[in-house]
Structure 1
Amino acid sequence: MSAAENQTRVVGLEGGINFRDIGGYINTQGRTVKWRKIMRCGHLARLSEGDLDTLETIGVSKIHDFRRTEEQEQSPSCAVRAEFIDDYQIHIGDISRFWEFLFGGELTADSSHQLVVNSYRSCIEAVIPAFSRFMRHIVDNADSASVFHCSAGKDRTGMAAALILSALDVPRQTIVDDYMLTIEHYDSDALIEIVEGHLRAAKVESWDRDWLIPYCSVHQDNIVAFLDAIDEQYGDVKTYLTSALGLSAADLEKMQSCYLEG
C-alpha cells in the first residue's frame, strides 16, 4: 500500500472512529476498487457538524449499523443525513462469553485469543440473515455511497468488509491487511481502559491486561478463521455470497461494474 493510499484511506472526520475507505485496492484482474463508495468505521456518536457536511458531500446515502440495541443506546448515532438501517443486531458468537470466562476464572491471554478466533470461525451461519440483507443493500446502493459500522469498527465491520472485497475479487492477503489496519487507526488502549473500568465496577480483584488485548484489538488469526471457515463449508467466499447470502451472478457483476474501475 502506497503512502498516498494511506493518506486517502482514512476519511478525515473530527469525530470519526476507525473511519476508513475500502477503495483503492487492486483486484486479481488489475482493476481498482473505487474510492469514497464504501466506507467502514466505529460508532457515529462523536461526529461534528462539519463531519456531517463532509459525509453529505461525499454522497453517503445509507448507514448500516450492526450494533445491538444496548450498544446503540449507549452511543447513539449523530444525525447523518442519510437513511439508517440499524436493526441488524449482530452478535459474534462466543465473544459475548468473554465476561463469562473472565468471571469464571478461565481467562488467560491464550484462552482469550482462542475465544475470539473461535467466535469468528463459528459465526458464519449465524450472521447469514444480517449479512444477506446488508449485501443486498450494497448491491442496490451501488450508484451512491454507503457506510457500515459497529462499535469499534473491527469485528462485525471487519467481516462485512471482507465479504465486500471478496465479491470484488480483491486478493485474500489484501483483505487481511485491510482488516489489520484497525491496529493503526483505532485506540485499543482506550477500550482496554473502559473494560478495566467495568471490571473494577464489577469488583473483579485482579486481571492481566494481556487477557483483554484479543477482545479489544485485532489479530490476523481472527479474519483468517472467518474466511477459512467459509472456504471449508462452502468451497469459497463467492459460493457463500450466492448460496448462503442469496446474491445472484448478476448481483456480483453489478458490484464489479459499479465499484471497480480500470
Structure 2
Amino acid sequence: MEPLSLPLEQGVNFRDLGGYQTKDGQRIKKNKVIRSGSLGNLSPNDLAFLDDYGLRYDVDFRSSTEQKDAPDRLPNGVNYYFTPVFPEDETKSSAKDRRKKIFMSDPEAGFKNMIRAYKDIVLQASAKKAYREFFDVLLANDKDKEAVLFHCSAGKDRTGMGAVYLLSVLGVDEKTIRNDYLASNKFLAPWTERELSKRKLPLEHQEVFLSNLKALGSVRESYLNTALTVMQREYGSLEGYLKHELYLTKQQVKDLKQIYLEKL
C-alpha cells in the first residue's frame, strides 16, 4: 500500500503508519502513530487537524540546537518528549556548514557523511537512549483514539530509523518497511527543491556542492543497509539490537502489538 499522507498546510513528510499489514495477517491501526518532519511551522489549521486526529504524544528526535531554532508547535494537551538521537544534527545543516569546503571538492562527501551518521544511529549511546524512550512513549499510548507522533527535522533519517524499528517489532515485512523508508524522497521532493532554490550556491564547484546537498537531503537504500549491517555485525540482527541494546522484552513486544495492531 502507499503511505498515508496527512494533509497539513505547513507540515512536511507527515504520514500515518496505519494500514500497513503484518506478516501474520493483521494491520496497524490508523490514528495511532504518525511520523513526520518539523512541527516548527505548523499553521493554526494544522494544529486543529492534529488535535482532531487525536495527537497526545510528541517525540522529538532533534538536537537541542534544532529544537531551539524551531520549537515544536503543538495543540494544547499534548505530552512533549525531547529525546535527541544525536547531541547535534549529523545528517543535515550543521555538518554541511562545518564541511563546506570539503563539499565543494569531494563529490562523495555528502554520501560519506550520511554513512557515518547511520553508523552512529546504531552505535551512539544517545541514539540508543532516544529510541528506548521512544518505545516507552509508544507503550504508554494505550488508549483508543489517541496518537503518538515522532519526528526530526525532515522526518527521513532519525525518524526513518524509528519507523524501521517500530514496523519491525510489529511484524511488517521487509519490503514494506523499505518502501516506507524510501517514501521520504517522494514526500520531501517539493520541499527540497524550494530549499535548494533559496541557497546561494558557490560559483565554483557548483555541481559537486549540489550533489552533496542532495545526498544529505535524501534517503537511500545504502544508508539503511549501513545501519542494518552494523546491527548484524555487532548484535547478530536487528531483532538482537532491539532486545539487547534497546531492552525490548517479549512482553513489551506483545503489548505493542496489542496497542497498535488490529485484525483485518
TM-score where L is the length of structure 1 = 0.87
1:142 aligns to 2:126 (yes or no): no
1:72 aligns to 2:76 (yes or no): no
Contact kept, 8 Å, 1:92 with 1:120, in 2: the verdict is: no
Determine which of 97, 106, 109 is the counterpart of 2:107. 109
Contact kept, 8 Å, 1:66 with 1:156, in 2: the verdict is: yes
Q: Which residue does 2:186 correspond to in 1? A: 184
Which residue identity does 1:120 align to in structure 2?
Y
Counterparts in 2 of 1:220 and 1:89: CA distance versus 1, 3 Å: closer
Unaligned runs of 5+ in 2: none
Number of equivalenced pairs = 252
CA distance, structure 1, for counterparts of residue 178 and residue 165 of structure 2? 11
Cα distance, 1:162 vs structure 2: 0.7
Counterparts in 2 of 1:249 and 1:211: CA distance versus 1, 3 Å: same
Cα distance, 1:109 vs structure 2: 3.3
CA displacement, residues 89-126 of structure 1 (integer Å, 9 cap, x when unaligned): 53465765444443246753333223212321343121
Pairs within 5 Å for 1:1-262 = 1=1, 5-6=2-3, 9-81=4-76, 82-88=78-84, 90=86, 91=88, 97-104=95-102, 107-126=105-124, 127-143=127-143, 144-186=146-188, 187-194=191-198, 196-197=199-200, 206-208=205-207, 209-262=210-263
SS in 1 for 2:206: coil
Contact kept, 8 Å, 2:15 with 2:35, in 1: the verdict is: yes
Answer with 149-158 or 207-216: which moved more.
207-216
CA distance, structure 1, for counterparts of residue 224 and residue 142 of structure 2? 25
Contact kept, 8 Å, 2:62 with 2:89, in 1: the verdict is: no
CA distance, structure 1, for counterparts of residue 103 and residue 230 of structure 2? 29
CA distance, structure 2, for counterparts of residue 14 and residue 258 of structure 1? 29
Which residue identity does 2:37 align to in structure 1?
G
Contact kept, 8 Å, 2:61 with 2:151, in 1: the verdict is: yes
Cα distance, 1:182 vs structure 2: 0.9
Cα distance, 1:48 vs structure 2: 2.0
CA displacement, residues 70-97 of structure 1 (integer Å, 9 cap, x when unaligned): 2122222213221111242534657654
SS in 2 for 1:147: strand
Answer with 98-107 or 60-69: which moved more.
98-107
Which residue identity does 2:46 align to in structure 1?
D
CA distance, structure 2, for counterparts of residue 248 and residue 259 of structure 1? 17
TM-score where L is the length of structure 2 = 0.86
